[in-house]
RNA sequence: GUGGCCAUAGCUCAGCUGGUUAGAGUGCCAGGUUGUGGCCCUGGAGGUCGAGGGUUCAAAUCCCUCUGGCCACCCCA
């Protein structure tokens, strides 16, 4: 019988990798909170209907990528494929928008999509994001984009390519949809199978089809359908970004496929991610979403960034935090008699705030010292029969390679002094 | 969901057109030192060659199925 493995498209984050993950989450939280965004958490699963309405039939996510199930009580539930609908539901459901506008929140957590797995593409994927709910203003659009930009900057990721586009308000979008249908219909016979389906379901998606790219290149740009007010809105967003020193590429093929998206759409691309996975993250304004979910019309804008992909970029660049050590102090007993004494010393050191491993194994001291090195400890406290009898301990500075015998009561201070001076010795 | 490449020790990989008990480096454990480390020397453990089936006197090697990873699509993070 083969051993159980993690389900396809999922993976374990092992202790050695956790530092990099923690850094990404902590950096994002710090940058978002520097802009006044507060953390929020929503359930991992939600009513299936929320995603059907909030993401929309006709999208790949809803049509074929959701982990949906029915409870014994008959509820239709789905593991969340993204966080925006639930975040909006939570904020509006709790009436937070009645207290202040916009409501600024950030989140982090796993999402689930039944895709075919690849590098940087998982069935359990991890996203971090922000949402600003309750205000329609180009300043807010730019603020959200800037947070994402500063996040990558703070992580030390260079080469971010910000792609941006505007599809105008809901009326503009309807107009643009029709323009595209009119443009593509004469070419219907020459379109690929997918596009013949798209023209019915989601004409905006025609633009980013690779096979029919020659048509997309000459299709009318979205700017043709923008009302003067929408154009002005987009120009304002671009102006804010320019003032912030953020460079972007205007990409008129960039679309968010859902009907309630409006105005600004953007993605963060990176040159080191090739092919299908070139997007590190994306977002946009979703002024129609609240109504679709049954709430009063409420504008909103946000983004979602892929943690898994940010990690790939960091690793490919050879960046990332130094490997974490297991402990600062290892307490070694010598012989069975001193185990209890060593354990008490370890306890005493932990109470003083140190990270301490007790090595009570029956083996030679040189092996224990070697082990202490590998654990990344800087101090080793050695106790055997002599120390037990004299109520002392041998405190060894692993960096300096020297040691002193001190009384039990002085152990904490001695260890603290060695760790505190920050001396790494010749390690 | 479609098509392709791949899977040998904990890790990185050898293993020629099928041919005895499947190897190396590294890591792990132990000894070299009655209680002093990062090096070195010696020894040891560890593999039903991803799983299952088939062809053959004989399969890590050839064929089929499954599982998983990767790549290109599709789409997205």
A104, A235: one domain: yes
User: E strands within A205-297?
Assistant: 249-250, 262-270, 279-285
Number of CB atoms found within 10 A of residue A226's CB: 22
CATH of the domain at A56: 3.30.930.10
In angstroms, the CA A36 to CA A7 distance is 38
What is the domain range of residue A143? 15-169+227-316
What's the pLDDT score for residue A274?
Answer: 61
Look at residue A402 and tell me if it is in a domain: yes
- The whole-number Å distance from A2's CA to B57's C1' is 30
Give the DSSP per-residue string, A360-418.
--SS-HHHHHHHHHHTT-SEEEEE-HHHHHHTEEEEEETTTTEEEEEEGGGHHHHHHHH
Which residues 245-284 of chain A have a CB under 7 Å from nucleic chain B? Answer: 257, 267, 274-282
Look at residue A193 and tell me if it is in a domain: no
Instruction: Check if the beta carbon of residue A148 is closer than 8 Å to that of residue A305.
Output: yes
Which residues 72-131 of chain A have a CB under 7 Å from nucleic chain B? Answer: 82, 113, 115-122, 125, 127
In angstroms, the CA A303 to CA A15 distance is 29
Residue nearest to nucleotide B68 (CA to C1'): A8
Instruction: Check if the beta carbon of residue A86 is closer than 8 Å to that of residue A77.
Output: no
Write out the two tokens for A356.
Answer: 């301490």
A263 closest CA partner among A391, A141, A124: A141
Q: Which of A270, A285, A316 is the last residue of a domain?
A: A316
Report residues of chain A scoring pLDDT below 50.
423-427
Nucleotide at minimal C1' distance from the A1 CA:
B51
Look at residue A95 and tell me if it is in a domain: yes
Instruction: Check if the beta carbon of residue A114 is closer than 8 Å to that of residue A122.
Output: no
Q: How many domains does chain A have?
A: 2
Q: Is the CB of A398 under 7 A from strand B?
A: yes
Write out the two tokens for A300.
Answer: 């909103």
What's the pLDDT score for residue A328?
Answer: 92
- The whole-number Å distance from A266's CA to B51's C1' is 45
Look at residue A279 and tell me if it is in a domain: yes
Q: Is the dihedral of CA A262, A268, A273, A274 positive or negative?
A: positive
Give me the helix-helix angle, A411-420 and A339-351, nearest 10°.
Answer: 60
Q: A300 pairs with which residues across the strands?
A: A133
A290 burial via Cβ count (<10 Å: 0-12, 13-18, 19+): buried
A24, A103: one domain: yes
Q: Which of A316, A349, A376 is the last residue of a domain?
A: A316
What's the pLDDT score for residue A148?
Answer: 97
Write out the two tokens for A377.
Answer: 């400890």
* A394-414 burial code (b ≥16 CB/10 A, e <16): bbbbbbeeebeebebeebbeb
What's the pLDDT score for residue A277?
Answer: 62
What's the pLDDT score for residue A210?
Answer: 64
A401, A296: one domain: no
Look at residue A132 and tell me if it is in a domain: yes
Q: What is the interface pTM, i.e. ipTM, of the complex?
A: 0.87
A396, A301: one domain: no
Which residues 133-162 of chain A have a CB under 7 Å from nucleic chain B? Answer: none
In angstroms, the CA A162 to CA A248 distance is 5
CA distances from A71 to A77, A223, A233 (A): 7, 47, 45
A277, A411: one domain: no
A62, A152: one domain: yes
Q: Is the CB of A386 under 7 A from strand B?
A: yes
In angstroms, the CA A418 to CA A403 distance is 11
A368 burial via Cβ count (<10 Å: 0-12, 13-18, 19+): buried
CATH of the domain at A366: 3.40.50.800
- The whole-number Å distance from A60's CA to B74's C1' is 9
Long-range contacts of A25-28 (CB under 8 A, 24+ apart): A25/A108, A25/A128, A25/A307, A27/A151, A27/A154, A27/A155, A28/A106, A28/A108, A28/A128, A28/A151, A28/A305
A310, A348: one domain: no
In angstroms, the CA A332 to CA A368 distance is 7
A306 closest CA partner among A12, A28, A15, A13: A28
Strand B bases, protein C-beta under 7 A: 1-3, 28-33, 35-39, 48, 50-51, 67-77
A70, A29: one domain: yes
**Distance between start and end Cα atoms, chain A:** 45
Look at residue A322 and tell me if it is in a domain: no
A276, A381: one domain: no
A308, A386: one domain: no
What's the pLDDT score for residue A427?
Answer: 35
What's the pLDDT score for residue A63?
Answer: 80
Which residues 25-44 of chain A have a CB under 7 Å from nucleic chain B? Answer: none
Q: Is the CB of A370 under 7 A from strand B?
A: yes
CA distances from A13 to A16, A19, A124, A169 (A): 8, 10, 12, 42
Look at residue A362 and tell me if it is in a domain: yes
The answer for A304, left when phi > 0, alpha when psi is -120 to 50, beta otherwise, is beta
Q: Is the CB of A186 under 7 A from strand B?
A: no
CA distances from A189 to A71, A177, A195, A215 (A): 45, 19, 10, 13
A41, A118: one domain: yes
Q: Is the CB of A14 under 7 A from strand B?
A: no
Look at residue A196 and tell me if it is in a domain: no
A146, A243: one domain: yes
In angstroms, the CA A403 to CA A399 distance is 10
Widest CA span in chain A:
96
- The whole-number Å distance from A288's CA to B16's C1' is 66
Instruction: Check if the beta carbon of residue A141 is closer than 8 Å to that of residue A130.
Output: no
Backbone angles phi, psi at A26, to 5 degrees: -65, -40
In angstroms, the CA A93 to CA A416 distance is 50
Q: Which of A316, A342, A373 is the last residue of a domain?
A: A316
What's the pLDDT score for residue A421?
Answer: 67
Residues sharing a CB contact under 8 Å with residue A258, sequence separation 6 or more, in sequence order: A55, A56, A59, A286
């Amino acid at each position: 019988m083969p051993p159980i493995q993690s389900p396809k498209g999922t993976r374990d984050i092992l202790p050695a990798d956790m530092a990099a993950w923690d850094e990404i989450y902590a950096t994002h939280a710090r940058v978002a909170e520097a802009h006044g965004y507060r953390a929020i958490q929503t359930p991992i699963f939600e009513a299936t209907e929320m995603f059907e309405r909030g993401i929309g039939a006709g999208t790949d996510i809803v049509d074929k990528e959701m982990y949906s199930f029915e409870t014994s009580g008959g509820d239709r539930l789905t593991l969340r494929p993204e966080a925006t609908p639930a975040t909006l539901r939570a904020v509006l459901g709790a009436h937070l928008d009645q207290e202040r506008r916009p409501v600024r929140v950030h989140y982090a957590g796993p999402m689930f999509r039944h895709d075919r797995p690849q590098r940087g593409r998982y069935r359990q994927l991890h996203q971090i994001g922000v949402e600003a709910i309750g205000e329609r203003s180009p300043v807010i659009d730019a603020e959200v984009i800037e947070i994402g930009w500063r996040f990558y900057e703070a992580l030390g990721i260079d080469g971010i390519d910000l792609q941006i586009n505007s599809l105008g308000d809901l009326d503009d979008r309807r107009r643009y949809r029709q323009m595209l249908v009119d443009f593509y219909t004469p070419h219907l016979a020459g379109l690929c199978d997918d596009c013949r389906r798209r023209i019915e379901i989601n004409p905006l998606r025609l633009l980013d089809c690779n096979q029919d790219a020659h048509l997309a290149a000459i299709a009318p740009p979205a700017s043709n359908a923008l009302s003067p007010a929408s154009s002005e809105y987009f120009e304002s967003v671009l102006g804010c970004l320019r003032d912030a020193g953020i460079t972007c590429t205007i990409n008129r093929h960039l679309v968010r496929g859902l009907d309630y998206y409006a105005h600004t759409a953007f993605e963060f691309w990176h040159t080191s991610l090739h092919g299908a996975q070139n997007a590190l993250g994306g977002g946009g304004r979703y002024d129609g979403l609240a109504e679709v979910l049954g709430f009063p019309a409420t504008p909103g804008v946000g983004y979602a960034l892929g943690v898994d992909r940010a990690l790939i970029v960091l690793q490919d660049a050879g960046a990332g935090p130094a490997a974490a050590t297991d402990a600062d102090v290892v307490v070694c007993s010598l012989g069975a008699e001193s185990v209890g004494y060593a354990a008490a010393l370890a306890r005493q050191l932990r109470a003083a705030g140190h990270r301490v491993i007790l090595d009570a194994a029956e083996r030679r001291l040189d092996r224990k010292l070697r082990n202490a090195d590998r654990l990344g400890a800087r101090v080793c406290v050695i106790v055997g029969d002599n120390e037990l009898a004299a109520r002392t301990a041998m405190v060894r500075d692993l960096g300096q390679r020297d040691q002193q015998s001190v009384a039990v009561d002085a152990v904490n201070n001695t260890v603290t002094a060695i760790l505190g001076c920050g001396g790494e010795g010749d390690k």
